Amino acid sequence: MRPLNVLSVTSEIFPIIKTGGLADVAGALPSALAAEGVKVITLVPGYPAVLGTLESSNVVHRYPGLFGGTASLLSGRAGDLDLFVIDAPHLFDRPGSPYLAPDGRDWPDNAQRFAALARAAADIGQGLAPGFVPDVVHAHDWQAGLVPIYLSLAEGPRPATVMTIHNIAFQGVFPPYLLFELGLPASTFTIDGVEYYGQIGFLKAGLQHADRITTVSPTYAKEIQTREGGMGLDGLLRVRAIAVSGILNGVDDKVWDPSADTNLMQTYDRDNIDARIANKEGLQKRLGLSQDPDVMLFGAVSRLSEQKGLDLVLASLSRLLAGGAQLALLGSGERGLEESFRTASIVHPGQVGCFFGYDEGLAHLIQGGSDALLVPSRFEPCGLTQLCAMRYGSVPIVSRVGGLADTVIDANEMAVAAGAATGFQFGPVAVSPLTDAIDRAKALWRDRQAWRRLQDNGMSADVSWRRPAKQYADLYRSCLPT
């Protein structure tokens, strides 16, 4: 098969800069795709963290003016990632979050910043870097949403475009007066163009103009075509239904490998799951939980936001903790939720332990030391923590939505009897179904053999990028001219 060149366009990439699962996906896909004969170079903004890790870079192009300042397009490597980087200090030389100012609000020039990302992507798509002419440009989320429209406006040959939705809740909506500044002609401000309820919609524009649209699970691909799940874009997605598909995420099995994870007290694999007990002890110690191997330990690793449904865990807490069970939470986000969990840890000392902030090592220890992992999301495009949990022998308890519904096999009686179950699903997303699932999990946990089977099934499931990478490679090939 002919090797393919793909330009991946993303606003974050693991291990350099990450706020969520998008970074994990962008960081892991390139090497998984290499095995499918797809050469990926990723275009990212030149945040300080990116420029700081870039090795042996060279200048591909100089822009005399890119949205308000001079800029250079660099190419280089960072670890095993091949990158194009937009070195534009006036847009990206800022500390902290890629999206938010220190006061927690969006940077006021996010439209220009991510239009610059899309502009450079479209230029590379049209041959700006002669050593790498992409067959396909793969745009991730609203930050790369203008790529397909910039390319559709360009003269001459252009690559195919794929637009992936990682979370339709974030759409990149900006005021209409920016149209010309963004390099968009008046003719694009229509319902078939960038216009979105009187504003400019970056994601909307991407979905309108991309050759193919993907999202990160088959169930979410259906949900976003409904009024409830589409958050205003369902109509467009229904019109484009033939172009829409869902490809599940995987996890990077080198980053998430319990047999070689230096964040754990004790590494282990399927054949010595009992060794996890040292991680449970370590986790209890780290979060100030009572040192007791014989109580069930629930974990959660999550952004603290409405989406993730952790308020339902708070509402279920007395049932969850009944009988001495424990909760270990790692989260960051909304202040109110943080406060409520902090209070819970004071009210239930030794039973609720929290760490607020971002901590990669602790995320791994929770996966390696908890008995079950809670993911009670209101919606979840794919979700990665339930996949990590399976790989680490922590049994996921998930709401039956999006990618959670597609990746966890509920321990109903038949699935347990057939030896197929990998976790617990509940629905609808509300307190009492969650509490029922927690009770079911607690009951099965007491049956050590049955629980071991759940862990073993999860650990032997293939949650790697191998299958998804093949699906992406097939998709890329299918959208090329024959």
- Is 192 a binder of ligand ADP (CB under 6 A)? no
CB-CB contact of 274 with 266 (8 Å)? no
- Is 24 a binder of ligand ADP (CB under 6 A)? yes
- Is 310 a binder of ligand GLC (CB under 6 A)? no
CA 281 to chain CA centroid, nearest Å: 29
CB-CB contact of 181 with 191 (8 Å)? no
- Is 276 a binder of ligand GLC (CB under 6 A)? no
Helix %, strand %, coil % of the chain (to 5): 40, 20, 40
Sheet holding 297-304, edge to edge: 352-356, 326-333, 297-304, 372-375, 395-399, 424-426
Among 82, 257, 281, 359, binds ligand ADP (CB under 6 A): 359
In whole angstroms, how close is the CB of 138 to ligand ADP at the nearest point? 18
Among 87, 123, 371, 380, binds ligand GLC (CB under 6 A): 380
- Is 25 a binder of ligand GLC (CB under 6 A)? yes
**Binding footprint of ligand ADP, residue count (CB under 6 A):** 17
Touching ligand ADP, residues 302-321 (CB under 6 A):
302-303
Beta-bridge partners for 76? 83
In whole angstroms, how close is the CB of 315 to ligand GLC at the nearest point? 22
Select the span of 18-26, 85-93, 190-198, 232-240 touching ligand GLC (CB under 6 A): 18-26
Q: Quote the tokens at residue 108.
A: 């006021």
Q: Which residue is nearest to ligand GLC (CB)?
A: 21
Select the span of 113-121, 181-189, 377-385, 471-479 touching ligand GLC (CB under 6 A): 377-385
Sheet holding 195-196, edge to edge: 173-174, 199-201, 195-196
- Is 246 a binder of ligand GLC (CB under 6 A)? no
Q: How far is the C-alpha of 88 from the C-alpha of 90, rounded, in Å?
A: 6
Which partner in ligand GLC, ligand ADP, none is near 78 (CB below 5 to 8 A by kind)? none
In whole angstroms, how close is the CB of 374 to ligand GLC at the nearest point? 15
Q: Quote the tokens at residue 278.
A: 């040292």
Beta-bridge partners for 327? 298, 352
Question: Rg for the chain (alpha carbons), in Å?
Answer: 23
- Cα angle 315, 316, 317 (rounded to 5 degrees) comes to 95
Q: How far is the C-alpha of 165 from the C-alpha of 224, rounded, in Å?
A: 10
Q: Which is nearer to ligand ADP, 20 or 350 (CB)?
A: 20
In whole angstroms, how close is the CB of 348 to ligand GLC at the nearest point? 29
- Is 229 a binder of ligand GLC (CB under 6 A)? no
CB-CB contact of 387 with 407 (8 Å)? yes
- Is 21 a binder of ligand ADP (CB under 6 A)? yes
Select the span of 17-25, 58-66, 124-132, 187-195 touching ligand GLC (CB under 6 A): 17-25
Which partner in ligand ADP, ligand GLC, none is near 385 (CB below 5 to 8 A by kind)? ligand ADP
Q: Which is nearer to ligand ADP, 342 or 446 (CB)?
A: 342
In whole angstroms, how close is the CB of 256 to ligand ADP at the nearest point? 8
Q: Residue 200: what residue type?
A: I
Select the span of 16-24, 35-43, 391-399, 442-450 touching ligand GLC (CB under 6 A): 16-24
Separation in Å, CA 43 to CA 69, 193, 267: 19, 24, 35
Among 10, 75, 215, 385, binds ligand ADP (CB under 6 A): 385
Q: Which is nearer to ligand GLC, 20 or 218 (CB)?
A: 20
SS3 88: coil
What secondary structure letter does DSSP report for 154? S
Q: Quote the tokens at residue 402.
A: 């999006």
Is there a cis peptide before residue 428, judged by omega within 30 degrees of 0? yes
SS3 420: coil
- Is 382 a binder of ligand GLC (CB under 6 A)? yes
Separation in Å, CA 418 to CA 38, 387, 421, 445: 38, 21, 8, 18
Q: Which is nearer to ligand ADP, 98 or 134 (CB)?
A: 98
In whole angstroms, how close is the CB of 278 to ligand GLC at the nearest point? 29
Longest dimension (CA), the chain: 69
Q: Which is nearer to ligand ADP, 193 or 396 (CB)?
A: 396
User: What residues line the site for ligand ADP (CB under 6 A)?
Assistant: 20-21, 24, 301-303, 330-332, 358-360, 363, 382-385
| Chain residues that interact with ligand GLC, rule: CB under 6 A | 20-22, 25, 166-167, 216, 249, 380-384, 403
